[in-house]
Structure 1
Amino acid sequence: MTIHKEGYTSIAIAALVIFVANALVHYFIPDATWIVWLTYVLSFLLFVTILQFFRSPRRHITTDENLILCPADGKVVVIEEVEEMEYFQDKRIQVSIFMSPVNVHINRNPVSGLVTFFRYHPGKYLVAWHPKSSTLNERTTIAVRTEQGKEVLFRQIAGAMARRIVWYVEKGASVQQGNEFGFIKFGSRVDVFLPLDAKVDVKIGDKVSGGLTVLGRFQ
């Protein structure tokens, strides 16, 4: 397992802040042994938490043009038929994955193909499970058309803790199923919009893994 490139700056800042905090505690209250040791323990736990958030586990991803892979680690919180009005402007099956702070926050392409639509929206930071977070929060919207002419739309949504969305794709680019298309820092959500005739292979409450879990399949 390695550390994702998006974590380098955050980890360096955290290490500096922790070092300064520990130095100040040690300097100003050296005789309060229990406070010093409590600071050490809390600092260690904080640093480990930050490290695990930015972890980048190695995964063997098997591609298949008929499958729609899960774009993120987390838990399935929504499966429903909705009107997708930003790009498709018709009915689609929405599958939403909530990523807690303990999940890997790398986002992966659910299908291979051509990016036909991309848009970034600045916005609010409602909790990721709020019904209006998909239309009011900071987010990106990406649509990919496969070689078979099927289109899948997926949306990165910032949460109350996530204050930065990172993406690595643009309109007109070719993407490979399972490769990284972005990263969201701290708790957040990814919505995927599938064709109505797609078969959904997950259910609400399922724990899923990005690039490994089959979210659905084209019919």
Structure 2
Amino acid sequence: MTKPRSKIAVEGFTMIAVLGVLAWVTALLGLSFLSLILAVATFFTAYFFRDPDRETPMDPNAVIAPADGKVVEIGRAFEDNFLNQEMMHIGIFLSITDCHINRLPVTGRVISTKYTPGQFNKAYSSAASKENEKLATLIETEDKEQMVIVQIAGFIARRIVSYLKVGDIVEKGERFGMIKFGSRVDLYLPNRYEITAVLGDKVIGGETIIGWLKGGEA
């Protein structure tokens, strides 16, 4: 039997509890307006840290969106975290109202991770990919294809969370981390993959197919 999961990410528990207690205490002290503000902040924080279940398409040739958000970049770009080569690139911007749980786009194995400190430019800008604080993860698929997922902090987001360790065997759609309060996730794919998402698409992490392995066998 599958163990039930909380619908709220554990990273939000402390913040939600603190805000909730403050809202309750200020209400007891008769500070109604402040209590209302804190209550709204409590509910918004719980909404931000929501962790819904997703129905992941398990076609082995499909690449799934690693995050909820808007597609803001598509094209060829130089991947300089691990592979140092041009790859197919897609950038997804997560607004403060999007679900911020990140999910794996493919099944495979974690080869390496790399944290890079940096700036906090607005996450939808192209500069964010190169200049912002980020955590890159190199994944190798069962077909020995290597791709890179990059979690990027934004102007508001100041903490990147990843649950992955080198050597982990991971499954498509599996939760692998989050970025707190507005951010971006970039995905670099080998040339054998075709990106089918288009600029401006709203995608759902763990559900939306954003690309395919060309010539792959089902």
Tell whether the structures are fold-level matches, with TM greater than 0.5. Answer: yes
Distance of 1:57 and 1:117 partners within structure 2: 28
Runs of 4+ deviating beyond 4 Å:
20-24
SS of equivalent residue, structure 1 residue 7: helix
Secondary structure in structure 2 of the residue aligned to 1:3: coil
Structure 1 residue corresponding to 2:75, chosen from 80, 83, 96: 80
* TM-score, length-scaled by structure 2: 0.89
- Shift of the 162–21 alpha-carbon distance from structure 1 to 2, 3 Å rule, reads farther
Which residue does the alignment assign to 1:12?
17
Are residues 1:107 and 2:102 paired?
yes
Give the deviation of 1:48 after TM superposition.
Answer: 1.6
Written as runs of structure 1 = structure 2, the 5 A alignment for 1:4-83 is: 4-23=9-28, 26=30, 36=32, 38-83=33-78
Number of residue pairs the alignment of both structures matches: 209
CA RMSD, 1 decimal: 1.7
* Unpaired runs of at least 5, structure 2: 1-5
- From the CA coordinates, give the structure whose radius of gyration is larger: 1
User: Which residue in 2 is equivalent to 1:180?
Assistant: 175
Structure 1: segments with no counterpart, 5+ residues: 28-35
CA spacing shift, 1:17–1:44, aligned 2, 3 Å:
closer
Give how far 1:148 is off.
Answer: 0.9
Partner Cα distance (2:171, 2:139) in 1: 10
Letter in 2 for 1:195: P
Shift of 1:17: 3.5
**1:212 and 2:212 are equivalent in the alignment:** no
- State the distance in 2 between where 1:161 and 1:17 align: 23
Deviation at 1:179, TM superposition (A): 0.4
Cα deviation, 1:42-85, whole Å, max 9, x if unaligned, reads: 33322221111011112222322211110000110000111112
Counterpart code for 2:20: A
The 3 A distance-change label for structure 1 pair 17 and 133 is farther
Percentage identity across paired residues of the two chains:
37
